Amino acid sequence: MNICILGAGAIGSLWACYLHNAGHTVSLWTRGSEASISLSLDERPPLVFPCNQESQLSDTDVLLVTVKAWQVESAIHPIISLLKPHCSIIFSHNGMGAVETVLPQISDHPVYFATTTHGALRKDKNQIQHTGQGQTIIGSLNNLADDQLDKLVEAFNLALPPVHSDSNIGQALWNKLAINCCINPLTTLKDCRNGELAAKDTLETIETLCIEIAMVINAEGYTCDKNKLFTRTKQVIEATSANFSSMHQDIHHNRPTEIDYITGYLLQRAQAHNIDTPMNKKLFDQIKQKEALNDH
């Protein structure tokens, strides 16, 4: 397939290298004007990718959008008219709510969401490190997407397994968002690794967050048991104890966070259902204050 990656950061570059190695023709689209970019994955020899070429973009079968949640709209808007009619569009980022704002503009395309637990680090513009093996789940976001889901999942699974399809991607996204709502803000505010959230007083806060989150997810028509969510969150804290969360890293590196699409999205949906979520609101406000102190 001809695959274009929009957002050649850590995750986008990781997919670019693995999809290239699986035999696909991969190009990149950045906000720069370079005609090619060389990428080295781990210690392997560099691969050179064509970049920002309109002729390639207009022949793209699959556009993989790996910008951050708050960058989705501004990244995809300028290139929608350059895509061929049946080009599949796959979004992959943390958080929820960003794709909803652009879906009406791309309703002629098959649209998918891919959620991944792989870890990737961009050491510099040309060096990518695959820091953690994970898995990827892909699901359809519109009816046009259903026909080609299996074909896409097969192609991505051959490149960087395991990749599974999920006919209820909304549930998978809420499951991930629920845990992100607990781990991301708390590690950022406590300036700690994930494992340090296992302290008793922090677990009490997490239990309260889980009660609020479960109410919102259930009101949205998805399944969430507050006790199971609390248990799952503790398991993730233990399994990723040495990691710094993405929000912690964003604040540490003076970058905007994805809080508006994580806790912010939860608060929006809570408000729509008249559900009180004071603990989540408190963490949201504290992160926004911290973010405002960054000079980006």
Q: Is 68 in the site for ligand NAP (CB under 6 A)?
A: yes
β-pairing verdict for 47-50 and 36-41: antiparallel
Judged by CB, which is closer to ligand NAP: 29, or 214? 29
Judged by CB, which is closer to ligand NAP: 117, or 227? 117
Residue nearest to ligand NAP (CB): 9
Q: Is 6 in the site for ligand NAP (CB under 6 A)?
A: yes
Among 68, 84, 125, 176, the one annotated catalytic: 176
Judged by CB, which is closer to ligand NAP: 68, or 269? 68
Of the candidates 65, 70, 71, 67, the one whose C-alpha atom is nearest the C-alpha of residue 87 is 65
Burial of residue 100 (CB within 10 Å: 0-12, 13-18, 19+) is: exposed
Residue 139's H or E segment, with its range, is: strand 136-140
Of the candidates 70, 169, 73, the one whose C-alpha atom is nearest the C-alpha of residue 114 is 169
Residues contacting residue 201 through CB under 8 Å, at least 6 positions apart: none
Number of residues lying near ligand NAP (CB under 6 A)? 25
> Applying CB under 6 A, which of residues 20, 24, 93, 130 lies at the interface with ligand NAP?
93
Token pair 């479960």 in the structure block, residue: 214
Q: Is 116 in the site for ligand NAP (CB under 6 A)?
A: yes
Judged by CB, which is closer to ligand NAP: 222, or 244? 244
Judged by CB, which is closer to ligand NAP: 138, or 214? 138
Q: Is 50 in the site for ligand NAP (CB under 6 A)?
A: no
Write out the two tokens for 288: 């926004």
Q: Is 228 in the site for ligand NAP (CB under 6 A)?
A: no
Q: Is 243 in the site for ligand NAP (CB under 6 A)?
A: no
Write out the two tokens for 82: 């350059």
> Applying CB under 6 A, which of residues 69, 83, 155, 236 lies at the interface with ligand NAP?
69
Minimum CB–partner distance for residue 219 and ligand NAP (Å): 25
Judged by CB, which is closer to ligand NAP: 70, or 222? 70
Alpha carbons 11 and 62: distance in angstroms, whole number: 16
3 state SS of 255: coil
> Is 226 among the catalytic positions?
no
Of the ranges 47-55, 69-77, 263-271, 282-290, which one interacts with ligand NAP (CB under 6 A)? 69-77
Measured in degrees and rounded to the nearest 5, phi and psi for residue 204 equal -65, -40
DSSP state of 45: P
Minimum CB–partner distance for residue 103 and ligand NAP (Å): 17
Q: Is 52 in the site for ligand NAP (CB under 6 A)?
A: no
Residues contacting residue 111 through CB under 8 Å, at least 6 positions apart: 88, 89, 90, 91, 99, 103, 140, 141, 142, 144, 145
The sign of the CA dihedral 189, 191, 193, 196 is: negative
> Applying CB under 6 A, which of residues 67, 137, 216, 224 lies at the interface with ligand NAP?
67
Q: Which residues bind ligand NAP (CB under 6 A)?
A: 6-12, 29-31, 66-69, 71, 74-75, 93-94, 116, 119-120, 122, 246, 258
As annotated, the active-site residues are: 176
